[in-house]
Amino acid sequence: NAGVTQTPKFRVLKTGQSMTLLCAQDMNHEYMYWYRQDPGMGLRLIHYSVGEGTTAKGEVPDGYNVSRLKKQNFLLGLESAAPSQTSVYFCASSYLGTNTEAFFGQGTRLTVV
């Protein structure tokens, strides 16, 4: 049972480039989330999904887009990367929303130069 898997684990982008981060979960969870983690700021919610075909904005959504075409996958896109998007990105999933345990992936370290 793999849990939550993120791809890739590391990436370096040039300013203006685009990329997609993939999150896959095998726990049949309805809820999925994308967070960014910056030093001294904890985890901040970028976007989330409450089920297949749905997405919603979190605390810091600007510059990111997401899609949930399949229940097990949640994609995070950066259309035009900026140095301010240098961060560690975590995907998480949960069974019944944020009032239940969230299971996190191992993170993607993204550097934008």
Partner 1 sequence: GENVEQHPSTLSVQEGDSAVIKCTYSDSASNYFPWYKQELGKGPQLIIDIRSNVGEKKDQRIAVTLNKTAKHFSLHITETQPEDSAVYFCAASKSNNNDMRFGAGTRLTVKP
Under the binding rule (CB under 8 A), the answer on residue 68 touching partner 1 is no
Structure-block tokens of residue 108: 């993607």
Q: Are 44 and 60 in contact (CB under 8 A)?
A: yes
Q: Which residues contact 67 (CB under 8 A, 6 or more apart)?
A: 55, 74, 75, 77
Under the binding rule (CB under 8 A), the answer on residue 74 touching partner 1 is no
Stretch that binds partner 1, among 19-27, 61-69, 71-79, 89-97 (CB under 8 A): 89-97
The 1-40 site mask, x for binding partner 1 (CB under 8 A), equals ---x--------------------------x-x------x
Structure-block tokens of residue 27: 């726990």
Between 79 and 101, name the residue whose CB sits nearer to partner 1: 101
Between 24 and 92, name the residue whose CB sits nearer to partner 1: 92
The residue within the footprint of partner 1, chosen from 11, 19, 58, 71 (CB under 8 A), is 58
Between 36 and 112, name the residue whose CB sits nearer to partner 1: 36
Per residue, the 3-state secondary structure of 17-72, as one string, reads: CCEEEEEEECCCCCEEEEEEECCCCCEEEEEEECCCCCCEECCCCCCEEEECCCCC
Under the binding rule (CB under 8 A), the answer on residue 77 touching partner 1 is no
